Amino acid sequence: MNISLIGKNALVGGSSRGIGKAIAEQLANSGARVTLMARTEEKLKDIIASLPTHNGQHHDYLVVDFNDLEAYKTTITRYFQNNTIDILVNNTQGPKAGGAMDVHIDDYQTAFDLLFKSVVFTTELALEHMIKNRWGRIINVASVSVKEPLSYLALSNSIRAALVTWAKTLASDVGPYQITVNSVLTGYFDTERIAQLNAKKAEQLGIPENEVLAEMEARVPVRRIGDPKEYGFLATFLASDQAAYITGTQIPIDGGLLKSL
């Protein structure tokens, strides 16, 4: 199957590293014009320079901080005054780790702004063009924790569940305009985020980080954690015409980690 996204404009959050970067690279490899979003301009410039341009693509970037919702809203509103997109990948960094007894009520509001309000705000801006064009793809980077909560990620468990149910509702509303809305439930991937979480867990348990990683891999039926490139392949398929009949879903990409149906 040949996936072509030539002529499509994509906006990818959290794309200076990890899963977001892998998605942006694969979308560009399939012909899309990509705008990256992240905090570190130097990293964004380096990635832009490495993306293909053989299909007349012109890539761009936005320096944003998803932790500062008001500043983010200003930046993204200005962007949409002069740009339209066809493919929106909603992805931010995760909130701080900790169990339900480790976080405080204010932390939930911070996480809500980061994981939910920024996504809804961006999506509302993107939908105007998608509805007029009667074509659009909205892909939310979520987590397997919405099905099976992880004890050390109380904030992520809670807010990502809200995001997924919102996305399911939105899919019904925008389906008549041939816009699809899907959430990807992320398992264990070889990213800086996983390394940070593993370091924290190793410190708490008083064991080496490589033991934490080995235990993590042993829980996955395929006995390894994922390569971000594999995530990029799934996201690119969901962004394509070939996935036009897939919407309102929550698709795990986890090597079989989830035990629930």
Active site residues: 152
Expressed in angstroms, the distance from the first to the final Cα of the chain is: 28
160-129-124 Cα angle (round to 5): 30
The secondary element (H helix, E strand) that includes residue 204 is helix 192-205
The C-alpha torsion from 50 through 10 and 182 to 125, rounded to 10°, is 140
CB 8 within 8 A of CB 87: yes
Dist CA 178 CA 183 (whole Å):
17
DSSP per-residue string spanning 127-153: HHHHHHHT-EEEEEEEEGGGTS--TTB
Query: Hey, CA dihedral for 172, 178, 182, 74, is it positive or negative?
Result: negative
φ and ψ at 210, to 5 degrees?
Answer: -65, -25
Cα–Cα distance, 109 to 93 (Å, whole number): 15
